[in-house]
Structure formats: structure tokens, C-alpha cells
Structure 1
Amino acid sequence: MTTMRGRRIAAAAAATVCGTVAANVMLGASTAWSVPIGPGCPALYVIGVQGTGQSAPNADPLADTGVVGALIAPVVSAVPHLVQRSYIPYGAGFGGIVPGGGPDPYVASVTDGRTKLDAAAAEIVAACPSTLIAAVGFSQGAQAVSSFARDVGAGAGPVPADKIAGVALYSNPDRAPGAGVLPGRPGQLTPDPAPGTAGAAIAGVRIANPPAAGSGIAGAADFGALTGRVADICTDGDLACSAPDRAAVLRFAAIIGAQADLANPLAALGSINASLSGALGEAWNTVLANDFRVGHGVVDYAPTASLAQRLIEAADPRITPADPGLAAARWGEIIAAITVNPLELGKLFGQLAGAWGQLADDNADLVNPLIWARYLDTVNRHNNYALGQLDSGIAWLIALAHDLAGSRR
């Protein structure tokens, strides 16, 4: 008989492998809420977004719980006159199968968190124009915060980049391949100063963490104008942020699973089948539209992206699919060219065989036991960030508060 502990481990592993994926897709509306501010306006306002199963739509926004609470609570305790904080109350679910999480698919859950984070940041800036914001996220919450930081850094977020003092991500599914603790700042361990400050206090901070191989299972984020003010902390062997480099099928499956209703087996099968069928069709249309060249009886498969990349992009609902009409027209051109010159078919088989060989290489880590030995303890690695890996983040936020308070004098 499966034990309760076994069920919890299985659920946590499922959330780690498949749940932490491509979830900053804007799929649904969120319940409005008002961020608690006051009394007065602080130098630094810290917004926390919890991980899977660690929040709920009706969660107390001032309760210091979970991994994120373990980081923020000591900051408020150390400088209560300089810092205010709140946590985004959202579903934090993974299709209804993770204890404590809501019933929504992972994609919809993170969308809920991201939407409320946007609203909270805008509300803080409107109410307290001199206050700067720090955002902290763990796991599913880190993906919502990473999406927020990416858009703010690109000038497309709910607040300007100069209103963000710092962003701390733990077990981030959007971690870039082989990224250090400050993405875009190779070898740098001290974050850039908050806007409008000289960074005197944070000059003594080091965001140190052992290197982690691989990358986030959902992809990678570029933080633009926030580069240097975003810390990305990952434990090697945590599948959420340190997935194998050559495991395209794993990433593809994770994106599909993130869109599924998993609480009901029949519903899960139906939603997974629909997503899978749609993704395979989109991938084929994209290959036809973009990767074949036809002219004067000549056909070539000349890919501008690998089959692995086409599959992953087709599964990701954030990416606009190829025009099926263009794909159908290209297929007609291919058939017509081969009809005129049948020898082209043999050449095409050779070119496509090379592409399948590349696809196998893009999944080579899936059959390498030495690679998978890194993930034997992935559940514990994912869940234990509060055991010694938050200290530098705590020191950083306290230093930011001191620097911001000093800049007001």
C-alpha cells in the first residue's frame, strides 16, 4: 500500500518535473485584491510569491510561511522601520494533485500569481512613489516573478525598471542554461546597486551558491534593464531549475503536463491528448512553413531551428503558431516539385534522417545513467532551500533597505 509519505513524495516529484514549466502564459483572469500598505510608505516594499502548495487565493498576505516567508520574515524583523512586505494570495496549484495546491492547471495557477503580482506592484508604486520594490519567488512563484522581471526589464511590465530594487529567484524554472547567481553578470557575486543609490551597504553582500548545471525546465529569461539586480539561486540536481541540457522530450512533456487538469484521471487523459495532438500538429505546420525550401523542381529541408526546438515551441501556448494555410500551401509545393523530379525524394530522406539524428542527440541525456544519478534526491534538493541557502538573500534585502533609506536623506 502506498504510504502518505510516498504519495507526498510522488506529488512533489511530479510538480518538480512537470509543474514548473512555461506558466507565465496569460490564460485567465485573477480575483482582484488590494495589497496591504502602511502605516506610511517604507523605503523598501518586498513582495513574495510562494511555491506550489504554499499559498491559496484566500491566504493571509501578511503570514510569513513557506520558503519565501523564511527569507522575508528575518528582513522585516531586522529593519521593521524600513521594510514592509506582503505575499501574493494565489492558487499555487498543479492540476489538483499537489497537497495544499489549488485545482487549476499549473499554467493557470502561475498566471494567477503573475497577474496579482503585476497589480500589487502597480498599486505600491501609485501609493508610495518614493518606495522601491523587491520581489522574491520560489519554484512556481519564481516563474511568476521571473516573468514579471523579464517584462519589467524589457520596458513592458506594470512598473518602470527604476522602481525595482532587486529580485530573488529560488528554484526558477526559467533559469538560463548554466546561469550564475546573477544572470548576465558572469562571475559577479555582488548585486548591482538599487536605482538612485550608491550601493554602499550591498557592497558587502555576496550572493554565493555552488554552481548548478543545466537550466530551468521551462526555458530561459532575459532580464534586460534589471540585469545585475536579479539573483537566480539553484541547487544542482533540482529538476525545476537544473534540468539536463539534452532532454528535449522531458521539456516537451513538462509543458504539456503543465496545461492539464490532473485531479481527474479521465479529464487528465483528455486534456493531455488534446494538448499533445495540437502540439504535434503545430510543430509539423511550423516545420513546413519555415524549414523547407522549394523552387524549380528542387526541394530542400533547410531548418532554421532543430526538431527539438520546434516541438517545444509548438507545445508552448505563449508562442504564436504557424499559419496552417501557409503550411498547406508549402506542402502542395513540395508534392508538385517531387512529382516533377522524383529524385528529390531520396535527397529529402537523407536530409530528414540527419534531423532525426539531431533530435536523438538533443535527448541523449535521457538515456545517460550518469546524468540521472544527479537527480536521485531531486525532491529534497527542491524543497530544502530554506536550510542555509537564504542567508545571502536576507543580507541583500536588508542592505537594500539601508541603501534606500540613506538615499532619502
Structure 2
Amino acid sequence: MNTSTNTRARTAAAAAALIAAVSVATATVGGGEASAVPIGPGCPALYVLGIQGTGQSSPTADPLADTGVVGALIAPVLNAAPGLVQRSYIPYGAGFGGAVPGGGLDPYVVSVTDARNQLDAAVTQIAADCPNTLIAGIGYSQGAQAMSSFARDVGAGTGPVGPERIAGIALYAHADRAIGSPIFPGRPGQTVPDPAPGTTGAAVSAVQITNPPAAGGGIADGATEYGELTGRVADICTDGDLACSAPDRAALLRVGAEIAAQADLHNPLAAIGTLNALFQAALREAWTTVILNDLQVGGGNVDYVPQLGLAGRLIDAADPRIPAPTPEDVGAAAARWNEITATVASNPIGLLPKLAGQLGAAWGQLVADNADLVNPAIWLRYADTVARHNGYAISGQLNSGIAWMVALAHDIVGSR
């Protein structure tokens, strides 16, 4: 085996290990029955809901136990604002298909959506039982994905409560972080959070969220927007944390993460079969989408005019949040392919060289979109990615979030 092949093999193995180590991807499907949220005595000014990361929770976890990365943020808030803040943690499987110690056996997509369902129920209960209480959220790793999807829907007006009930949301190691995202998505350069609704923001105005910037973007490639909550959602990432700071040009890494997120991984033999079936399905979906959207045929001519590159088609096909082609789509793609082959067969000398050039350029772009995967210098950034992913508490990355939550509580009380 030559040096180049060795390098590619080592890079591929490292990428696979890192995907499993940080345990991130996407979510779509249903979850379990929600538990009641502990409230009292009385209703607080601010209720903080936390969602732990992979392996840090379970369906029977104590909702008041200040453990894990999220607990390291929320516990100091309680101490600094006694009587003003109550909290609980969302109990859920926190699993990655059985591959991560401490996590459940459910695939990642099931686990994250379970957390989201539990979060919606908790917020609904708090809003109903404590109509004057504002709500904040803290999410870490896969918990950040669940919290982010909640913030997206609330900001768009489709969540379980209106945006006026949300004081602030802090995300850490968020797999849907947009490439090059600022700390406040949609607000480049902003370092001071927007005030909580109905407050002057006097205390919050003294808070600076100045965590160091991170290159790249989330491995799940969701690039979430927050609508009415823009300025009240912070997305904090440690540079070199593969969960939220994956290389820009690593499309197949994101495809692999999305596929692994849907798989049963606790049994090696089952994992091989599941991963193979998911990969084959993604290829079929991508090809169907390419035929329907990127190949133009008519008037004796065929052109490949991509509306989205091959890398984008593969990422979308592997993402369970994006609906698969319908049977009608598959039938339409088959009919169009028959039309394409018949058109090319009628004029191969005129059409084949042109199509070869167009598809060759598309393949070259796919290679460029994955150039970071075979660049050893890029992967040096991730030599300690597991430590970076797990080190938000010890690195001081949580300090500004603590200050923010305390300031929110004081502003809410001051407004009353």
C-alpha cells in the first residue's frame, strides 16, 4: 500500500472514530410519554430547562440532579439567584443506537426527538401552571439539537409557546451549527444578548458572550434559523469539537454522521446490515432527486444543470428530516430516465461528450467538497476532539452562560 493510500485509510478510520466519539447527527421521529415537571414552591421568575448530552441522561433520570455539562451551568445559577430560579432536566434516552456508554439503545434520531417531545410537554406545563414565569433553555450535544429545534419552531411561531415566553437559550456543541456561525446566529458581531421579553435588559446589558470563535460548522449541517428568538439564542462551540466545528469541505463525513444517527449500532452484525441499507437508500434517493431536478431533457437535448451539487444531494438524501421521494416521484424519475436514455441514444455523438464534461465537472466539485477529508493538516485540529467536546465546563466556556441566566432572572424580577 502506497503512502497516499495509507493516508486516506488513516483519515477515514479517524473520521469514523470521531463520529462515534462525539455522537452527533439529525432527528425526526417520535418519542415516549412525557413526565410531569417539578414546580415549586411557588412559581419562579425564571424556569431553566436543561437537556443533557449523549450518555448523560436516561428516561428515569432525576430531573433535579445537577449533573453533566448542563448541570455544571445550571447549578451555579441557582446558587447565584436563590429564590428567583427553578430548574429541571429533561429525562430521555440520550442514546446513539447503543454505541455510547450510558446511552440507551434507540438510534440517535429517536433519542433526540424523544428529548424534543419531552421538552415541548415541559414548556407547555410550565406556561400553563406559571403564567408569569419566563423560560430559558440549556442544551448540550444532542440535547442542543433538541433545544435548537424547539427554538426554531418557537421563533417561527409554530412552537408550543409564543416567543414572548422565552427569555434565552444557550446551545453548546450544537451539531446543527451553521458553518462559520457567530455566537448569536443571525447577528454577526453581537456579544450582548437581547433582553428578555417585557424587561429593560439592564442586568443582561452587562453580560458579554465572548467565547472564542470556532471554525467550520455542525456535523449535522442543519444551519438553524431562529426567527423571533434571534438575539436570544446563543450557539457556543469549542474550535476543534467535531460535533459543532467539523471541517467545511467534508460532505461525506456529514453523510456518514446522518446515516449512523439512524442505525442500530449496539450489535456489530446488525449495525453492518442497518448501515448498508441506509446507505443504499440514501444513494437511491439522491439519484432520484438528481434526475428530477438536475437533468433537463427536451427538444432532442439533454443537459446536467445542477440546482444543488452532488454533495448537497447526498447530504439531503441521508438527512431523515428531509422527506424521501414519494412513490410518485420515483415513478416520474423512472419515466424521465427512459426519456433521457432514448434522447441520448438518438444522438450519442452530439450528446455524450457534452454530458461527460458536465458530469465530470460535477464529480470534480464533489471531490473538492470533500478535500478536507484527505488533508492530514486539517485532521490535526481534531486530535483531541473528544476532550474538547467534553471539556466545556473545565475550559470556562460555560461562564458567560451562567452570568446570562443570572442576569435574566434579575431583569425579570426588576420588571415586576
Quickly name the TM-score band, shorter chain normalised.
Answer: over 0.9
Could you tell me whether the CA contact under 8 Å between 2:31 and 2:115 is conserved in 1? no
2:234 corresponding residue in structure 1:
231
Is 2:333 the counterpart of 1:327? yes
The correspondence for 2:116, drawn from 114, 117, 125, is 114
* Aligned residue pairs, count: 397
Q: Give the aligned partner of residue 362 of structure 1.
A: 369
Report % sequence identity.
69
The alpha-carbon deviation at position 158 of structure 1 amounts to 1.1
Q: Report the equivalent of 2:7.
A: none
Q: Larger deviation: 318-327 or 351-360?
A: 318-327
Provide the secondary structure at the position in 1 that maps to 2:59: coil
Q: SS in structure 1 opposite 2:315?
A: helix
Matches within 5 A, 1:4-403: 13-17=18-22, 19-23=23-27, 25=28, 27-219=29-221, 220-322=223-325, 323-342=329-348, 343-387=350-394, 388-403=396-411
Instruction: Provide the secondary structure at the position in 2 that maps to 1:86.
Output: strand
1:406 paired to 2:409: no
- Quick check: 1:16–1:382 contact (8 Å CA) kept in 2? no
Q: Do the aligned partners of residues 150 and 12 (structure 1) sit closer, same or farther apart at CA in structure 2, a change above 3 Å counting?
A: farther
- Structure 1 residue 333, shift from structure 2 partner: 1.5
Q: Which amino acid aligns with 2:370?
A: N
> TM-score with structure 1 length normalisation?
0.95
Distance 1:12 1:129 in 2: 46
Whether contact under 8 Å (1:286, 1:321) holds in the other structure is no
Contact 1:292 1:299 in 2 (8 A): yes
- Give the partner amino acid of 1:324: V
The one-letter amino acid paired with 2:273 is G
**Corresponding position of 1:4:** none
Structure 1 residue ranges without an equivalent (≥5) = 1-8
Question: For residues 322-361 of structure 1, what are the alpha-carbon distances to aligned partners after superposition, in whole Å with 9 as ceiling and x for unaligned?
Answer: 3101211210110121122222122111100000000000
The residue type paired with residue 336 of structure 2 is: R
Please tell me whether the aligned partners of residues 12 and 379 of structure 1 are also in contact (alpha carbons under 8 angstroms): no
* Runs of 4+ residues deviating >2 angstroms: 9-17
Moved more, 60-69 or 340-349: 340-349
CA deviations on 1:93-116 (whole Å, 9 max, x unpaired) are 111121111111111111111110
Q: Deviations over 1:167-210 (max 9, x none)?
A: 00010001111112111111111000011111000010001111
For residues 45 and 351 of structure 1, what CA distance do their matches in structure 2 show? Answer: 56
- Give per-residue Cα distances to partners, 1:13-72, cap 9 Å, x unaligned: 44445x31112x1x1231221111111111100000000111000000000000000000
In 1, the alpha carbon distance for the partners of 2:133 and 2:16 equals 39
The one-letter amino acid of 2:139's match is G
Whichever residue aligns with residue 398 of structure 1, its letter is: V
Q: Is the 8 A contact 2:137 2:169 kept in 1?
A: yes
CA distance in 1, matches of 2:374, 2:341: 37
Per-residue deviation at 1:77?
A: 1.2
Amino acid at match of 2:24: T
Structure 2 unpaired stretches of 5+: 1-13
Contact 1:174 1:241 in 2 (8 A): yes
Give distance in 2, aligned partners of 1:15 and 1:35.
Answer: 32
Using the alignment, how far apart are the partners of 1:160 and 1:151 within structure 2? 9
Q: Structure 1: how far apart are the matches of 2:70 and 2:21?
A: 17
Kept in 2: contact 1:11–1:98 (CA 8 A): no
Cα distance, 1:11 vs. partner? 11
CA distance in 2: counterparts of 1:134 and 1:373, whole angstroms:
36
CA RMSD of aligned residues (A): 1.5
2:34, 2:117 within 8 Å by CA — same for their partners in 1? no
CA gap 1:147/1:15 in 2 versus in 1, 3 angstroms: farther
TM-score by length of 2: 0.93
Q: Distance in 2 between matches of 1:124 and 1:372?
A: 44
Kindly provide the CA deviation profile for residues 264-304 of structure 1, in whole angstroms up to 9, marking residues without a partner as x.
01111111111011000000000000001111110000000
Distance (Å, rounded) in 2 between the aligned partners of 1:124 and 1:289: 46
Give the drift of 1:385.
0.2
User: 2-side partners of 1:374 and 1:10: how far apart?
Assistant: 12
Kept after mapping to 2: 8 A contact 1:20/1:240 = yes
The one-letter code of the counterpart of 1:182 is F
8 Å Cα contact 2:31-2:111 kept in structure 1? no
